[in-house]
């Protein structure tokens, strides 16, 4: 099922349909705005439309195919803001004003991409960045690539493609003949400060209801879903909540080398509990070409090479099965506040004072991290001293030139959610940063060509509920994501609920590096990033991937190569 769209808003007579390259009949026309879409379009009478999947905020949620008259009135009366309170989903909304303005709202989940390019009197928005930019020698913004490589937390609306911006989740852009303005219609911060603190058990019960409702609502939209399962908590929650729906669920397990790369035993526990066949697929080095971009449809070169292996597996599997959508547990760590810092202790101290509960959190963090109490208190004091300061951004200088690092210093968060954090608890700042990171690169494949990728755990009701849960609840009894584990007790197999370790494709990435070491060095020495002055190629000196520091360097080199391949593709240099 394709799911791409394009929106044009023109207040100029000289910019028309043919100039934009859209020759098909628009799916919707309202005022100065036109919409082309092969994903569902829900009219808001004649005043606008919603593009994408939309659900009601009822119990249970219901899929919205058309708006009732009172819902249209509420949307119009609120200028579109009621969409954020009465509905949820993965959508963008086009809204016309009585003054001739046209607004576009992107929902807070980030599951419907929205990029835009603007000029005087004209604004184009699309789900796929390739609809807004052409490959060529001026297409790449190397400064933004440098920021991304230094820290994912240092990027904002500007993408790594010149002239193309991202409308961030929860933002609304309004265009008039005089220009356009962007407003933040949804922010995480009101949700981080609930009127009263609820008990751990109450929060778990509330999360259980919301998880089952949101994941089940997504599952009801499709007939056949492929879900990557590892036997970890997040994918297991999605699998078990999806299983109750009348759809064909295919459980896919990706196998690679290394101690953490084979999670078939855990995945088999899950599949057996669901009565499903576990489809095992091995990563293959033959599917990896480090000279090719991993995800050129992304506006940032942030996709790792093992994604080429997943794409090859998905391609082969979809030729065997009729797949409507790919589901994943992506974003679970982020939404379920998987923190391993002393911030929950500081949050509890600032909220409740020096009560006995604070010492319980100290014990929980000690169990979780393996650190002794004095070490945690020392780190907690450091966090406490910085309360009220702007959020800190970790900079990874490895492989980056001194001139680039100097030009970027001091790194500051450009995401508007991190611009004003006055009064926010340190742990909640960390939680919000995690959610921002989860929003980058959700799309597995171009929407015009492949089935949709759905990450149900990033649904707006789940995010809002989790933001209001105290950070110290998430580490209760020394277990990460503790509230989520309690929420799905009796739904997810007990053996998987107890599992706190996590595997991954790190062994496969090591194989990729060993097989491509010389090619990687040649790519970077002769590449666009080096010419742009971004790299410190001494990173190749004395590297031994067998060691921990060598593995870190190997992964970093592959990240740099992935950025290089992406830049070459967009520069039309491949």
Domains of the chain: 5-114+167-185 (no CATH), 191-335+438-497 (3.40.50.620), 340-435 (no CATH), 506-570 (no CATH)
- Would you say 169 and 398 are in contact if contact means Cβ atoms under 8 Å apart? no
Report the alpha-carbon distance of residue 95 to residue 104 in Å, rounded: 6
What pLDDT was estimated at residue 414? Answer: 80
Mean pLDDT, residues 484-501 taken together:
93
Mean pLDDT, residues 282-310 taken together:
95
Exposure pattern of 222-253 as b/e (b: 16+ CB <10 Å)? Answer: beebbbbbbbbbbbbbbbbbbbebebebbbbb
Report the alpha-carbon distance of residue 30 to residue 34 in Å, rounded: 6
**pLDDT > 80? residue 550:** no
**pLDDT > 90? residue 345:** yes
Report the alpha-carbon distance of residue 250 to residue 268 in Å, rounded: 13
What pLDDT was estimated at residue 23? Answer: 53
Lowest mean pLDDT among 21-35, 85-99, 141-155: 21-35
- 1: tokens are 């099922």
The pLDDT tens digits for 373-397 are 999 999 999 999 999 998 988 889 9
Query: What pLDDT band is residue 313 in, cutting at 50, 70 and 90?
Result: very high
Mean pLDDT, residues 128-151 taken together:
92
Spatial neighbors of 389 by CB under 8 A, at least 6 apart, are none
What pLDDT was estimated at residue 20? Answer: 42
Mean pLDDT, residues 469-487 taken together:
97
Verdict on whether the full-model pTM lies above 0.75: yes
Query: What pLDDT band is residue 548 in, cutting at 50, 70 and 90?
Result: low
Report the alpha-carbon distance of residue 449 to residue 552 in Å, rounded: 34
Q: Tell me: cis bond preceding 512? Omega within 30 of 0 counts.
A: no
Could you tell me what percent of the chain has a pLDDT over 70? 96
Edge-to-edge order in the sheet of strand 115-119: 28-30, 33-37, 5-10, 122-126, 115-119, 165-166
Mean pLDDT, residues 492-515 taken together:
89
What pLDDT was estimated at residue 455? Answer: 97
What average pLDDT does the chain have?
92
The pLDDT tens digits for 194-226 are 888 999 999 999 999 999 999 999 999 999 999
- CB atoms near residue 321 (< 10 Å): 11
**pLDDT > 50? residue 1:** no
The pLDDT tens digits for 404-413 are 999 888 777 7
Mean pLDDT, residues 490-509 taken together:
89
Mean pLDDT, residues 113-126 taken together:
93
Q: 455 phi and psi, to 5 degrees?
A: -115, 85
- 368: tokens are 């979780």
Got the DSSP string for 137-168? TT-B-HHHHHHHHH-GGG--SB-SBTT-EEPP
Helices then strands, each counted (H, E), the chain: 21, 17
What pLDDT was estimated at residue 382? Answer: 97
Burial class of residue 478 (count of CB atoms within 10 Å of its CB; 0-12, 13-18, 19+): middle
Among 339, 336, 421, which Cα is nearest to 379's? 339
**115-119 and 33-37: which strand pairing?**
unpaired
Report the alpha-carbon distance of residue 388 to residue 24 in Å, rounded: 53
Mean pLDDT, residues 156-165 taken together:
94
Q: What would the 3-class secondary structure string for 22-58 be?
A: CCCCCCEEECCEEEEECCCEEECCCCEEEEEEEEECC
What pLDDT was estimated at residue 438? Answer: 94
- Would you say 233 and 485 are in contact if contact means Cβ atoms under 8 Å apart? yes
Using alpha carbons, list the distances in angstroms from residue 380 to 20, 466, 468: 54, 23, 22
Mean pLDDT, residues 454-476 taken together:
98
SS3 for 486? helix
Task: Find the radius of gyration of the CA atoms of the chain.
Answer: 24
Lowest mean pLDDT among 28-32, 45-49, 191-195: 28-32
């Amino acid at each position: 099922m394709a799911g791409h769209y394009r929106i044009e808003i023109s207040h100029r007579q000289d910019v028309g349909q043919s100039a934009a390259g859209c020759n098909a009949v628009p799916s919707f026309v309202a005022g100065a705005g036109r919409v082309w879409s092969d994903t569902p379009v829900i009219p808001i009478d004649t005043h606008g439309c919603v593009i994408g999947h939309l659900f009601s905020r009822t119990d249970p949620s219901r899929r919205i195919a058309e708006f009732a008259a009172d819902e249209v009135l509420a949307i119009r009366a609120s200028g579109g803001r009621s969409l954020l309170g009465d509905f949820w989903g993965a959508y963008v909304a086009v809204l016309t004003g009585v003054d001739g303005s046209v607004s576009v709202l992107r929902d807070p989940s980030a599951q419907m991409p929205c990029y835009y390019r603007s000029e005087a009197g004209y604004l184009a928005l699309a789900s796929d960045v390739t609809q807004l930019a052409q490959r060529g020698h001026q297409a790449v913004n190397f400064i933004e690539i440098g920021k991304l490589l230094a820290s994912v937390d240092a990027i904002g609306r500007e993408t790594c493609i010149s002239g193309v911006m991202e409308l961030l989740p929860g933002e609304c852009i309004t265009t008039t003949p005089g220009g356009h303005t962007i407003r933040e219609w949804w922010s995480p911060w009101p949700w981080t400060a609930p009127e009263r603190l609820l008990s751990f058990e109450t929060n778990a019960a509330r999360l259980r209801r919301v998880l089952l409702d949101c994941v089940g609502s997504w599952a009801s939209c499709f007939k056949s879903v492929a879900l990557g399962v590892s036997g970890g908590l997040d994918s297991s929650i999605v699998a078990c909540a999806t299983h109750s729906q009348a759809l064909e669920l295919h459980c896919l397990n990706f196998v690679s080398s290394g101690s953490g790369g084979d999670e078939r035993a855990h995945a088999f526990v899950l599949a057996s509990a669901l009565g499903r066949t576990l489809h095992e697929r091995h990563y293959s080095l033959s599917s990896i070409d480090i000279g090719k971009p991993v995800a050129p449809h992304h506006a940032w070169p942030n996709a790792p090479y093992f994604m080429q292996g997943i794409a090859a597996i998905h391609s082969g599997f979809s030729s065997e099965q009729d797949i409507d959508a790919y589901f994943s547990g992506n974003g679970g760590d982020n939404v379920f506040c998987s923190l391993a810092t002393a911030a929950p202790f500081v949050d509890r101290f600032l909220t409740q004072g020096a009560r006995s509960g604070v010492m319980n959190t100290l014990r929980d963090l000690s169990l979780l991290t393996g650190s002794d109490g004095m070490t945690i208190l020392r780190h907690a004091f450091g966090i406490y001293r910085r309360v009220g300061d702007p959020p800190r951004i970790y900079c990874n200088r490895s492989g980056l030139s001194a001139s680039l690092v100097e030009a970027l210093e001091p790194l500051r968060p450009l995401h508007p959610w991190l611009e004003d954090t006055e009064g926010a608890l340190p742990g909640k700042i960390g939680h919000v940063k995690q959610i921002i990171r989860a929003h980058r690169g959700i799309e597995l494949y171009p929407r015009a060509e492949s089935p949709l990728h759905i990450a149900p755990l990033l649904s707006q009701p789940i995010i809002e509920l989790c933001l209001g849960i105290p950070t110290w609840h998430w580490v209760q009894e020394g277990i990460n994501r503790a509230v989520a584990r309690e929420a799905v007790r009796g739904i997810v197999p007990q053996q998987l609920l107890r599992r706190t370790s996590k595997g991954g494709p790190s062994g496969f990435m090591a194989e990729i590096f060993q097989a491509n070491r010389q090619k990687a060095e040649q790519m970077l020495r002769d590449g666009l990033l080096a010419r742009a002055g971004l790299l410190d190629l001494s990173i190749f000196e004395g590297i031994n991937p067998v060691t921990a520091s060598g593995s870190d360097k190997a992964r970093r080199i592959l990240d740099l190569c992935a950025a290089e391949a992406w830049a070459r593709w967009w520069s039309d240099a491949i």
